[in-house]
Amino acid sequence: MVQCTDAFVTLASVDVERLVKFYSELLGKNPQNYIHNAYAEFHLPGLRLGIFKPRETHRQEFEGKRGSMSLCLEVKDLEDTIAHLTAIGYPAAGEIITASHGREIYAYDPDGNRLILHQSPRTDS
């Protein structure tokens, strides 16, 4: 058995700075750990998101593999989030989907990774 002490998601990109800029603008914060053109890490509630540039010897593993990851982000206001994505140049794709678990829409980061932007049903009384 592996005794895991922590877990986080990482994205590999040959253009790390483009993804760092995108996620900084999307999240409204700079990465907590940052090595220019090599690694960035964002701390989110319940998740750390790392972005790294693969070494030359490993780059071939990641070439041509666009959009293989989906990152689901729970948001407070879906319409505000959609407007923000549009303002930073990455408008959401398609229409808002309504299901029993809430409302969601898809968007994509600059490397084609899918973002699932989800808003739980409001429980206003």
Its pTM stands at 0.78
Count helices and strands in the chain by DSSP H and E runs: 3, 8
**Cα dihedral 42, 48, 54, 55 sign:** positive
Asked whether 22 and 90 are in contact (CB, 8 A), the reply is yes
Reported confidence tier of residue 111, pLDDT bands at 50, 70, 90: confident
Spatial neighbors of 50 by CB under 8 A, at least 6 apart, are 8, 9, 10, 11, 39, 40, 41, 42
Question: Do the Cβ atoms of 89 and 102 come closer than 8 Å?
Answer: no
Q: What pLDDT score was predicted for residue 71?
A: 85
